[in-house]
C-alpha cells in the first residue's frame, strides 16, 4: 500500500519568514495530494491540494509543488503569521483505491512573533 | 450544502466495555465514508472505509469494526475496549474520485 513520509516533524520559524514542509510517497499511481491544517483539538481542514497533472499550485501565501518523477511534494508558506501555528499533514491517494487518503506523520509548525 | 455530524465529542469508557461511535452525512448521496484514528501527537491512521451500503474495507487488523447500515451512516464499534483504543477518532466523507475528504469534529475516546 501507499506510504507517506513527512519532514520535518517540528518547525519553528520567525514571523514573516517562510516555512517549507516536504513529503515523499511510495505509490507511483497516486494522483491526488492534499494538505490539511489541524489546530489543537480540532478537525483537520484542507488548505490546498494538487493533482498529478499539475506541477505547482498557489493560493495567496500558500503554495504546493509536486515532482512525480521523484515522488515528492512540498508545502510552502510565505510571510508566516502567528495564526499559521498548527499541525500540518500531507496526504496521498489514488482514485482507483476508493480515494483513501494515506497521511504523513504531521509537522508541528510554531510561528514566533 | 453537505454537512457531517459525529458524536459524541468526548467519551470515557472502562476497559472491556463496548463502543459505538456514529457518523452521519447530510446533503449528498452515496459518499465514500472513512474512519480515522489519531493517537496523541501522531498522524491520522485510516481504520475503515466504505464505498457503499454494507461495503466495508478494513485497513488495519484491530479490536474495532465498522458498519454502514444506511447510505449516509457510518458506525464504529467495539465489543470490548482496550487501553490502546484511546485516541481521537475522526469520521470523514468524500465524493467518489480524487477529491478532498471532509472531516467530522472528532470523538476523543479515553479508555480507563
Give tens-digit pLDDT for A37-78. 999 889 999 999 999 888 999 999 999 999 999 999 999 999
Say yes or no: B61 contacts chain A, CB-CB below 8 A: no
Distance CA A1, CA A3 (A): 7
Residue B103 has φ and ψ, to the nearest 5°, of: -100, 150
Q: How many residues does chain A have?
A: 113
What percent of chain A stands above pLDDT 90? 81
Predicted confidence band of residue A1 (pLDDT cuts 50, 70, 90): confident
In which band, very low, low, confident or very high, does the pLDDT at A100 lie, cut at 50, 70 and 90? Answer: confident
- Out of A42, A95, A104, closest to residue B97 by CB: A95
Which residue did the predictor score with more confidence, B99 or A65?
A: A65
Measured between beta carbons, the chain A residues lying within 8 angstroms of B97 are: 95, 99
Contacting residues of B for A49, CB less than 8 Å apart: 100
| Mean pLDDT score of chain A | 93
The predicted-structure confidence for B39-74, as pLDDT tens digits, reads as follows: 877 789 999 999 999 999 988 867 899 999 999 999
C-alpha closest to that of B75 among B22, B34, B26: B22
Q: How far apart are CA B74 and CA B65, in angstroms?
A: 11
Q: Judging by beta carbons within 10 Å of its beta carbon (0-12, 13-18, 19+), is residue A89 exposed, middle or buried?
A: buried
pLDDT higher than threshold 70 for residue A7: yes
A34 touches chain B (CB under 8 A): yes
Interface with A, mutate which of B100, B102, B105, B108 (most A CBs under 10 A): B100
Average of per-residue pLDDT across A17-25:
98
pLDDT value at B98 more than 90: no
Confidence band, pLDDT 50/70/90 cuts, at residue A97: low
Share of chain B above pLDDT 70, in %: 97
The per-residue pLDDT for A96 is 67
Contact A95, A32 (CB under 8 A): yes
Q: Do the Cβ atoms of B52 and B68 come closer than 8 Å?
A: yes
Top-confidence residue, A36 or B100: A36
pLDDT recorded at residue B78 = 96
Nearest to A89 by CA among B32, B107, B45, B98: B45
* Dist CA A38 CA A45 (whole Å): 6
| Predicted local distance difference test score (pLDDT) of residue A54 | 85
- Residue B27 CB coordination number (10 Å): 10
Amino acid at each position: 500500500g501507499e506510504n507517506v513520509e513527512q519532514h520535518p516533524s517540528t518547525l519553528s520559524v520567525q514571523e514573516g519568514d517562510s516555512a517549507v514542509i516536504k513529503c515523499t510517497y511510495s505509490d507511483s499511481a497516486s494522483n491526488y495530494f492534499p494538505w490539511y491544517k489541524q489546530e489543537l483539538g480540532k478537525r483537520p481542514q484542507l488548505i490546498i491540494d494538487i493533482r498529478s497533472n499539475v506541477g505547482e499550485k498557489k493560493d495567496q501565501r500558500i503554495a504546493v509543488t509536486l515532482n512525480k518523477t521523484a515522488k515528492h511534494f512540498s508545502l510552502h508558506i510565505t510571510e508566516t503569521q502567528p495564526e499559521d501555528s498548527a499541525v500540518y499533514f500531507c496526504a496521498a491517494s489514488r482514485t482507483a483505491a476508493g480515494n483513501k487518503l494515506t497521511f504523513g506523520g504531521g509537522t508541528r509548525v510554531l510561528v514566533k512573533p | 450544502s453537505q454537512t457531517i455530524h459525529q458524536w459524541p465529542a468526548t467519551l470515557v469508557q472502562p476497559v472491556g466495555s463496548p463502543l459505538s461511535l456514529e457518523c452521519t452525512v447530510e446533503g449528498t448521496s452515496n459518499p465514500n465514508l472513512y474512519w480515522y484514528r489519531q493517537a496523541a501527537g501522531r498522524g491520522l491512521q485510516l481504520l475503515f472505509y466504505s464505498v457503499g451500503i454494507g461495503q466495508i474495507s478494513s485497513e488495519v487488523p484491530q479490536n474495532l469494526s465498522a458498519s454502514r447500515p444506511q447510505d449516509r451512516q457510518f458506525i464504529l464499534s467495539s465489543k470490548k475496549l482496550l487501553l490502546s483504543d484511546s485516541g481521537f477518532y475522526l469520521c470523514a466523507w468524500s465524493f467518489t474520485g480524487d477529491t478532498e475528504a471532509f472531516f467530522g469534529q472528532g470523538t476523543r475516546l479515553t479508555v480507563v
